[in-house]
Structure 1
Amino acid sequence: MNNTLQMISLVDLSIAFIPVIIALFFLYIWSLNVKQASYALSRMLIQLLLIGYALSYIFYSDNVWLITAILFAMVGISCWIALRTLPTYRLRLFKHGFMAILCGGGFTLFFISQGALALSPWYQAQVLIPLAGMIFATAMNSISLCAERLFSEMNNQVPYPEARKNALNAATIPVINTLFAVGLVSIPGMMTGQILSGVSPLIAARYQIIVMCMIFASAIISAVIFLLLSEKTMKLMTKQKADPKF
C-alpha cells in the first residue's frame, strides 16, 4: 500500500471547482445571494493561498512574541467575524466577544496543548496554531449563533434568563450534532488527513477524540462567558431600541 499522497497540481486543484460552479449556478437560478457566496469563495481561495505561504515561515519561527501576537490576532479576527450578524452593535459587544473567545478558547487550548499533548516548548507553532485555529473558529461560530439568538429573543420581550438559555441552546446545536455524527456520518478533517498521510486509524481516532473534546468545550465555555459579560449591554441596547429617548 502506498501511503504517500500525490502532489496536487494547479490543474488538479481546478477540478475541485467544477461542483462549486454547479452549486453557484443553482444559487443564481433560484435568485439567492450568489454574489455573497462568490465573494466568500474568492476570499477563501486568497486567504488559504496566503496562509500557506505565511505558515511556511511561521512554522519554522522560534519567536515566542510572534506566536503570541498571532494568537491574539486570531482571537480578534474571530470575534469581529462572530459579531457580523449584529453590525449596529458590533463595536459595543466586541470587548465581550474578545474576552469570551480569549478566555474560553484560551483555557481549552492551554489544557489540550500543555496537558493532553504536553507541547515543549509551549509555543511550538506547527501544533499550537492549527489547534488554536480550530478552537477559536468553534468559539467564533458559537458566539455568532448565541448573539443573534439572544438579540432576537430580547427584541421579542423574552425575559433575559430565558433568552440566555435559548441562546446557549442555539449555540450548542451544531457542536452536539457534530458529536452525534462523528464516526457514523462523517470522518472529521483531522482524522481524515492523518489517515490519508498513512497514520494508523487507531492513533488518528485518539487525536480526533482530543479535537472533539476541545471543540465541544470551547464552544460552550466561550458562549457562556459571552452571555455573562454581555447581559448589561444587551439589556441596555434592547431598551434603547424600544425607546430611542432612553
Structure 2
Amino acid sequence: MTIISWIDLLWCLIPVILVSIIYVSWQGKPSEILYAAARMAVQLIAVGYVLVSIFENPSPWISLIIVSMMMVIAAWISIRPVKEHSGILLPAIIALGSSVFLHLFISIVFVLNAESWFHPQLLIPLAGMYFANTMNAISLAAERYHSELKNGQSSEQARLTAFHAAMIPQVNSLLAVGLVALPGMMTGQILSGVSPLVAVRYQIMIMTMVLGTSGVGAAIMLWLLNKKKQY
C-alpha cells in the first residue's frame, strides 16, 4: 500500500485553490470554501489521533460513548431544515438510534461474525457510514413531509411523498454502483491492496445496510412526525 506523506498531501491544496479562484473570478467570496476545507483537515487529523489511541486500547464503554455522541450530532444536523418546528430532535434521535443500531448488530454479529461487537475498528467506521446516510435520509424526509403538508397534502400522502424523496439518493447509488462509480469504501480497500472480489463483498454489505438504515430511519421519523401531528 502506498503511504501518503504529509508533504505529498500538500498537493491536495490545488483543488481548493482552483475552486477559490472560481469564486474570486465570479465576484464571490472564497472564505466559505477555505473555512470548510481547513475545518475538514483539522477535524480529520484530530479524529485520526483519537482513533489511534482508541484502537490501541479498545473498550466497550468508550465505543458506546463515541457512537452515542455520533448519534446525537447526526440527529442535530438532520433537523436543520425543519428546526423551526418544535419537538423534532427526539424523533430524529429515536429514528437514527433504532435504525442504525439494528443494522450495526446485523453487520457485526451475522455478516462479519466478529468476536467482539465493540471492537472500535469495526464499530466506529460502520456507525459513521450508517449514521451519515441515515442522517441525510431523515433530513430529506422531514423537510419534504412538512413542505407537502404546507402545500395542502394529507398527512398520509405527505408521508409517502417524503419517503420517496428520502430514498432517491439510495436508489440512485444502487443503480449507479459499478457502472458509474466505485464507492469510497471499495476504492479505499482496493488502493490498500485488498482483492477487488473481497472489496466487493464488503461493499455489498455496506450498501444494503445503508439502504436499510436510510429506509427504516426515514420511515420511523415519518411515523413519529405523523403521530405527533395527530396529537
Q: TM-score, normalised by structure 1?
A: 0.88
State yes or no: 1:186 paired with 2:191.
Answer: no
Unaligned runs of 5+ in 1: 237-246
Q: Residue 40 of structure 2 is aligned with which of 24, 44, 52?
A: 44
- Is residue 2:135 matched to residue 1:127? no
Identity %: 41
State the match for 2:153 in structure 1: 158
Task: Write the letter of the residue equivalent to 2:95.
Answer: A
> C-alpha separation between the residues in 2 aligned to 1:140 and 1:199?
29
Gap change, CA 1:28 and 1:216, over 3 Å in 2? farther
Q: Does the Cα contact within 8 Å between 2:16 and 2:37 map onto a contact in 1?
A: no
The more displaced of 160-169 and 79-88 is 79-88
| Alignment of 1:105 onto 2:95 | no
Relative distance call for 1:31 and 1:97 in structure 2 (3 A) is: farther
Aligned residues: 231
For 1:65, the aligned partner's letter is W
Secondary structure of 1:85's counterpart equals helix
* Separation in 2, partners of 1:147, 1:36: 27
- CA distance in structure 1 between the partners assigned to 2:104 and 2:77 by the alignment: 20
1:207 matches 2:202:
yes
Q: TM-score, length-normalised on structure 2?
A: 0.93
> How far does residue 67 in structure 1 lie from its aligned partner after superposition?
0.8
| Cα-Cα RMSD | 1.8
Indicate whether 1:55 and 2:60 are aligned: no
Q: Establish whether residue 137 from structure 1 lines up as the match of residue 132 from structure 2.
A: yes
| Corresponding residue of 1:242 | none
Counterpart pick for 1:19 among 9, 15, 32: 15
Match of 1:83 in 2: 79
Q: Kindly tell me: are residues 24 and 86 of structure 1, through their superposed partners in 2, closer, same or farther at Cα, counting changes over 3 Å?
A: farther
Question: How far off its partner does 1:207 sit?
Answer: 0.7
User: Do the aligned partners of residues 168 and 186 (structure 1) sit closer, same or farther apart at CA in structure 2, a change above 3 Å counting?
Assistant: same
Quick one: structure 1 residues 220 and 18, their matched pair in 2 at CA, closer, same or farther if it must change by over 3 Å? same
Q: How does 1:59-74 map to 2 (within 5 A)?
A: 59-74=55-70
Aligned 8 A contact 2:16 2:34 in 1: no
**Alignment partner, residue 215 of structure 2:** 220
> What amino acid is aligned across from residue 53 of structure 1 in structure 2?
Y
Aligned equivalents of 1:42, 1:210: Cα separation in 2: 32
Aligned-partner Cα distance in 2 for 1:160–1:29: 46
Match of 2:115, SS state, is: coil
Give, in whole Å, the separation in 2 of the partners of 1:166 and 1:32: 36
Aligned to 2:87: 92
Cα deviation for residue 190 of structure 1 reads 1.1
Please report how far the alpha carbon of residue 35 of structure 1 lies from its aligned counterpart in structure 2 after TM superposition: 4.3
Residues 107 and 205, structure 2, Cα contact 8 Å, conserved in 1: yes
TM-superposed CA distance for 1:18, in Å, is 0.9
Deviation at 1:113, TM superposition (A): 0.8
Letter in 2 for 1:97: A
Please tell me whether the aligned partners of residues 146 and 168 of structure 1 are also in contact (alpha carbons under 8 angstroms).
yes
Cα pair 1:93 1:233 within 8 Å, conserved: no
For residues 224 and 35 of structure 1, do their structure 2 counterparts lie closer, same or farther at Cα, with a shift above 3 Å needed?
A: farther
Distance 1:30 1:217 in 2: 42
